[in-house]
Amino acid sequence: MPIRRDSFTVLRATMRWRVGLVLGVLVMVLMVALGTLNTQLGLKDTAQLAWVVLAVSGISVVGLLLSPRHLGGTIYFSAVALLLIFVPAFGLYHGRPMQHWAYIFPPLLVFLIRSRPALIGMVLYGIYVVFTLRPLIPTIDIVRFASGYGLLVCFIYTYALLEERAATMLRYYSDHDALTNCFNRRTFNEALEQLTRSRANGKRRTFLLIDIDHFKAINDQHGHLVGDRIITQVAAELVRALHADIPLYRYGGEEFAIILEHASEQEGVELSERLRLAIHEYDFQDLKVSISIGVAEWRSTHANVSAALGHADRALYLAKNAGRNRVMAASALS
| Half-sphere CA count of 73, side-chain side, radius 13 A | 21
- What residues are annotated to the active site? 254
Can you tell me the distance from the alpha carbon of 232 to that of 247, in angstroms, rounded to the nearest whole number? Answer: 15
Q: What is the pLDDT of residue 301?
A: 67
Which CA distances in Å does 304 have to 262, 308, 319?
17, 7, 23
- pLDDT score at 302: 66
What lies within 8 Å, CB to CB, of 328 at 6+ separation is 292, 293, 294, 295, 315, 316, 318, 319, 322
Chain segment 298-320, per-residue pLDDT in tens:
887 666 788 889 999 999 999 99
Q: Which residues pair with 258 in a beta bridge?
A: 208, 248
pLDDT in tens, 80-112: 899 999 999 999 999 989 899 999 999 999 888
**pLDDT value, residue 204:** 84
Kindly write down the DSSP assignment for every residue of 100-163, as one continuous string: GGGGGHHHHHHHHS-HHHHHHHHHHHHHHHHHHHTTTS-HHHHHHHHHHHHHHHHHHHHHHHHH
Full pLDDT tens readout for the chain, 334 residues: 344 555 667 777 888 888 888 988 998 999 999 999 999 988 888 898 899 889 988 888 888 888 887 788 888 888 889 999 999 999 999 998 989 999 999 999 988 888 999 999 999 999 999 999 999 999 999 999 999 999 999 999 999 999 889 888 888 888 899 999 999 999 999 888 888 776 555 578 899 999 999 999 999 999 999 999 999 999 999 999 999 899 999 998 999 999 998 889 999 999 999 999 999 999 898 899 999 999 999 887 666 788 889 999 999 999 999 999 999 999 887 6
User: Domains in the chain, ordered, with CATH?
Assistant: 7-175 (no CATH), 185-333 (3.30.70.270)
pTM for this entry: 0.71
Question: How would you classify the pairing of strands 327-329 and 291-299?
Answer: parallel
CA separation for the pair 2, 25 (Å, rounded): 33
What single DSSP character describes residue 45? Answer: H
Q: Which has the closest alpha carbon to 100: 34, 160, 166?
A: 34
Check residue 308 and give its pLDDT. Answer: 87
Which of 60, 86, 58 lies closest to 75 in space, CA to CA?
A: 60
* pLDDT for res 1: 37
pLDDT (0 to 100) of residue 203: 75
Sign of CA pseudo-dihedral 72, 183, 318, 262: positive
Neighbour-count burial of 105, counting CB atoms closer than 10 A to its CB (0-12 exposed, 13-18 middle, 19+ buried):
buried
d(CA 242, CA 276): 12
